[in-house]
Structure 1
């Protein structure tokens, strides 16, 4: 079943990241700036390779994001009857590389999903309040190698490469995906690139779909189609507060994958890749996952407000939902 990938702990656990929560005036200003350009007919920026030439094809796409919440919020999410109607909602325990075990709450869409933890659901630093992370993945076999080849021109000369596995319960690890981090040094947040392995797709216990084209290792093939019976369709926007160092480590990977990254005083926004990623630079004590926007399978005529611990999910009216999280 689809769950967040946790890299091998001995060499990469320190890469796995943190989350945050509070409304951001900086991000609001950033979105207002971008929206104003769009409404006034400004040309949509095209992605460029490190040498400035246009990238013919997007390589990395938003896959999922995760956050660690206070226990009240995590428990409210886990036991919410509304979320089970709103999304393909699952609570799963996964065993990954080196016997790592984690339990998460999942809202699964067509191509994207979110993974939500409570304090202590992950071991060590990764289970602390405010942890978060985001994964971006390729849709075609071999594209991650192209992304990695671009990193040195973007200042990443020693990326961390790894392979994640999954144990379906028989003690035999199945190759799950290949991944890359830009660095092993981080404050509270980071992003990794990934490419699903053919061995995982070949294992029937993964409940994945047949390929839609040669070399298909895409997100839609990986995720189930149960989203069709719920309201939530996909994640359209993620808002994060991060330190300056963590943002600096994240941007090269996004650029290497074809995202257009626009920097602003106090933050940045990454476009393309299916989902908008918005970042505000803050001190370490204020970092976290601030919000998640989602598209719906069908419009709703009314506005529904669901309080989940210290978070608020607003669904509708229309074909959109917004989930915001309280400040730490």
Structure 2
């Protein structure tokens, strides 16, 4: 779900009313190869990207994607009455959310804008992440409650979220923990807890993935600015990911079954680049599906790779 624009609008308003808060990591650097914490608290939940219009429209109307994944086009109303319409591919524990240029207002609707949601599996772990962030140089992590309106005008608490700053170039990441009120609402179509304190991704997502090929997101690659990367690294580390530097100034974060790679690029080259997915069952033959300016390659074996347009795509 889109959270960054909603967070920025509401938090900036709250700051204006309550006085300045010292959030953000400022000059936080993306130095890598530091050991992660003993226990991983955050896991890849979903990522979103803004694609060129041709590709977004092709995704929305693709018959193949409806066979390949638990796919839907959905409009959601969040906190502050903010609405967004995304194209969703949902797996067992993770999903993708895709937009086209102009689908979102302002800089969020520009080609290459992207976001990353990381979530907890156990109730209370978000509070620990918040404390860890302080030791990662984020003096005042920004806290936020996201709600969801199912159409009756009554917002239901959806999840608690934290982020390092409300300022960004084209990418933002946040940590989240689903609320018990949301799980208790039958309209959310969630599952019962598997154990006390279960607020996990598998409980949140539908089991409809079982009737399709796509199982989960195993890797994402996103090109972001150095400033946006610097704001993201402390959150990854606080969540328990192992973060390592790669050539060219980017980083790779590993943990929890999903690898997240960030390439550091100039602002004009930001892009949602590549996604790898596991499959529910191996396929014998290689299938290549051209979807707008993107290419989805499925198989052979139990893996699919979706590559998106080059940086210079308008």
> Common fold, TM-score beyond 0.5?
yes
**Match for 1:279 among 262, 271, 285?**
262
Contact kept? 1:158, 1:183, Cα under 8 Å: no
Counterpart Cα distance in 1 of 2:34 and 2:263: 23
Alpha-carbon displacement from aligned partner over 1:147-175 (angstroms, at most 9, x marks no partner): 00111111111221111000000000000
1:299 aligns with 2:282: yes
1:113 to 95, 113, 136: 95
Q: Is the 8 A contact 1:8 1:98 kept in 2?
A: no
* Alignment match, 1:135: 117
SS in structure 1 at match of 2:138: coil
Residue matched to 2:19:
none
* Deviation for aligned residue 1:273: 2.5
Match of 1:37 in 2: none
**2:184 matched residue in structure 1:** 202
Over 3 Å counting, the alpha-carbon distance change for 1:226 and 1:5 in structure 2 is farther
Verify the 8 A CA contact 1:180 1:194 in the aligned structure 2: yes
Query: Which of 293, 300, 304 matches 1:317?
Result: 300
Deviations 1:262-306 (A, max 9, x none): 013321100112210011111000011110000000000111111
Unmatched runs of 5 consecutive residues or more in structure 2: 14-32
Query: Conserved in 2, the CA contact under 8 Å of 1:101 and 1:122?
Result: no
Change (3 A) 1:46 1:225: farther
Q: Is the contact between residue 8 and residue 166 of structure 2 (CA under 8 Å) also seen in structure 1? A: no
Decide whether aligned partners of structure 1 residues 47 and 140 sit closer, same or farther in structure 2, where only a CA change above 3 A counts. farther
User: Of 62, 83, 87, which aligns to 2:44?
Assistant: 62
Decide whether aligned partners of structure 1 residues 298 and 13 sit closer, same or farther in structure 2, where only a CA change above 3 A counts: farther
Asked if residue 48 in structure 1 is aligned to residue 36 in structure 2, the reply is yes
RMSD: 1.6
- TM-score of the superposed pair, with normalisation by structure 1: 0.85
Distance 1:121 1:148 in 2: 32
Query: Which secondary structure state, in structure 1, belongs to the residue aligned with residue 274 of structure 2?
Result: strand
Q: TM-score with structure 2 length normalisation?
A: 0.89
Please report how far the alpha carbon of residue 113 of structure 1 lies from its aligned counterpart in structure 2 after TM superposition.
0.2
Counting matched residue pairs gives 290
* Equivalent residue for 1:223, pick from 192, 200, 205: 205
Assess, with a 3 A threshold, how the Cα gap between structure 1 residues 225 and 134 changes in structure 2: closer, same or farther.
Answer: same
Aligned to 2:263, the other structure's residue is in SS state strand
Provide the C-alpha distance between the structure 2 equivalents of 1:90 and 1:173, rounded to a whole number of angstroms: 22
Contact 2:148 2:155 (8 Å CA) reproduced: yes
Alignment equivalent of 1:99, drawn from 74, 81, 88? 81
Alignment of 1:230-245 (within 5 A): 230-245=212-227
Q: State whether residues 85 and 230 of structure 1, in contact with CA within 8 Å, keep that contact through their aligned partners in structure 2.
A: yes
SS in 2 for 1:104: strand
